[in-house]
Structure 1
């Protein structure tokens, strides 16, 4: 269990990495408009990460992933590959997922972008996905059983008549992209881990407007909803603090409960 606890020197580095990841999402917002390709978005993010922030994209080359970010549009749940033929259009929703390595330490964050005027369903799905993340963040503190995170997310999502994807989960993060523990977004009491101060992990619920089942495309990466319903995801990397959590990837325009500590 102690191997999940980060040292002060590691936490300091992860604050820097997390801030960079958040800044990428803040930077790209003005470009995410109708008629831009996801490849163009990828290139803008790549150049900013490499040249402006002197950091590395953890996605690029990870198990052969070919791009620097993930762009998941409409019924794509996660791991969408940027492509010059994928052009954003009015009414789309797209998740942009950023993972940074700075000074050997990772951070991971994503958010939804609504393109032009979107449907009521799209807006509501994105709102519930974001709120499910925020509700779980407010729960985090030392002594809380890990399964409570997933229980909180699942209850909120299903009470709003959406579904939670179970095949993919949050994860510990640090020197490695994916570390222990697994952070499930649904209730599962099999895991007896209790949160401790100085743990760092991601929470990244993926929720669907239809059924929770997903399918992986032939490219080996792109995951879509099986029933072609819409999907939305928000993700933060967080540090468990003495009385709550610090959001390492917090963005300046986010308004979350004061219990959470943001040092950015």
Structure 2
């Protein structure tokens, strides 16, 4: 598929969607505490998103089927709520109650006036131990490093390379199977953004591109396992994982964060 470059007006509309994602995060931040369930957080997010005239884009989402993979049922939640060793796509549940010392990755996608907003943030639940804080700090900095590479004339491989180098240089690993992606009127568009790779490889970055960078950084091995629900992805060794994601637009001056 060809990459659809966005106009300045389209980027502004995407920024409005991204800002609503950010407002939803700021609301959830006040609610994350020991004892709350991930389903309660999901309801808070859905009510807020709909109250602002937007719709949750994950709810009922069915991904394009990958060759050799089983069909995936529609996603049942407004947010992805990924606790501790869940890397991504955690399904909100009344059975999952947050505990002191947990971490929870919350991924929010919505559509406002026909345009998508998408971002992820990993939150501590109360006080966390030093090793977990280091995981969060590393994952957040990996995102920042990737964003710094997102300038016209650079390549997508430059983004993945700096993320991989920093994560692995600090004793962590980067998930390979799940990637960043272009977006616009659709949640998933070209290009695909790998969070590993070689500098100078891949497509050239061009003004008008809009895509996410969303490295998933594991405390242990990079390998993953998919639960029987068809969505929940865990670390293969049971160690924790953290993810931070922004949507950005490429301008002549460099990256413009739409979800900051």
TM interval, shorter chain, is over 0.9
Give the Cα–Cα distance (whole angstroms) in 1 for the partners of residues 185 and 201 of structure 2: 23
Shift of the alpha carbon at 1:49? 0.2
**Structure 2 match to 1:50:** 50
**Structure 2 match to 1:171:** 181
Shift of the alpha carbon at 1:3? 3.9
Residues 1:38 and 2:38 are matched in the alignment: yes
Q: Unpaired runs of 5+ in structure 1?
A: 251-264
- What TM-score, normalized to structure 1? 0.92
Comparing 113-122 with 214-223, which one deviates more in the overlay? 113-122
Shift of the alpha carbon at 1:191? 5.5
The aligned runs of 1:1-264 (5 Å cut-off) are 3-51=3-51, 53-63=52-62, 64-188=74-198, 192-250=202-260
Aligned length: 249
Q: Tell me the alpha carbon deviations over residues 55-79 of structure 1, each in whole angstroms, 9 at most, x when there is no partner.
A: 0111000011001000000000000
Give the Cα–Cα distance (whole angstroms) in 2 for the partners of residues 168 and 125 of structure 1: 18
- What TM-score, normalized to structure 2? 0.93
Shift of the alpha carbon at 1:119? 1.3
**CA RMSD for the aligned pairs?**
1.3
Residue 196 of structure 2: SS of its match in structure 1?
Answer: coil
Give the Cα–Cα distance (whole angstroms) in 2 for the partners of residues 3 and 185 of structure 1: 19
Are 2:86 and 2:233, in contact at CA under 8 Å, matched by a contact in 1?
yes
Q: Unpaired runs of 5+ in structure 2?
A: 63-73
- The runs of at least 4 consecutive aligned structure 1 residues that moved more than 6 Å come to none
Residue 23 of structure 2: SS of its match in structure 1?
Answer: helix
Q: Tell me the alpha carbon deviations over residues 206-253 of structure 1, each in whole angstroms, 9 at most, x when there is no partner.
A: 010000000000000000000001000000000111121110000xxx
